[in-house]
Amino acid sequence: MVKLYSSEPYRISYMNEIPGSVGTSASFILRLGQTLFSSASLLFMSLGVEFYSYTAFCYLVTIMGLVIPWSFTLALVDGYSVLVKCPIRQPGILLIIVVGDWVLSTLTLAAAASTASVVDLLLNSQGSFCPIKLCCRYRISAVMAFVSWFLSLASSLFNLYLLPSL
């Protein structure tokens, strides 16, 4: 109801000022970063052949398999929006993007934390379960997943900040 009073030109100029929201070049860079770090995390984890013996590692691979297509699709949408200079401004679509980003970032965080704790346990246990080279790769994979979580969260927050002004 309150929204009815706001003037249209003010809204449009205000909306375009938020960097990182859907359809800006900052958002495009964020999405590319998500795709890149998720792919790196997936590759570092799955090119070693032993990952499926640990639940946490399987979970990480599953989640990264969800994050990569999501981020890549939104990167394409952002790139297209920047080229044609016509960003998405439908509240419904933006809400889906915010919720999707948020759910995926939560899942990514859980996967990254699980992987990190399992790697820590494997490195510190006396039995020496994994060769040191393999464990370092698992650790790099966890760090990449944390970076991907952070970027995904940033996208979600920028879009959430834009949402009430639509």
For its own copies, the binding residues (CB under 8 A) are 1-3, 5-6, 10, 54-56, 59, 106, 109-118, 120-121, 124-125, 127, 129, 164
Cβ atoms within 10 Å, residue 142:
25
Closest C-alpha among 20, 25, 21, 28 to residue 76? 28
Q: Which is nearer to its own copies, 81 or 155 (CB)?
A: 155
Cα(46)–Cα(149) distance, integer angstroms: 19
Q: Which is nearer to its own copies, 82 or 120 (CB)?
A: 120
Q: Which is nearer to its own copies, 56 or 75 (CB)?
A: 56
Least separation in angstroms between residue 119's CB and its own copies is: 10
Least separation in angstroms between residue 143's CB and its own copies is: 14
Q: Which is nearer to its own copies, 52 or 86 (CB)?
A: 52
Q: What length is written for the chain?
A: 166
45, 57 Cβ separation under 8 angstroms: yes
Least separation in angstroms between residue 17's CB and its own copies is: 14
Alpha-carbon Rg for the chain in angstroms: 19
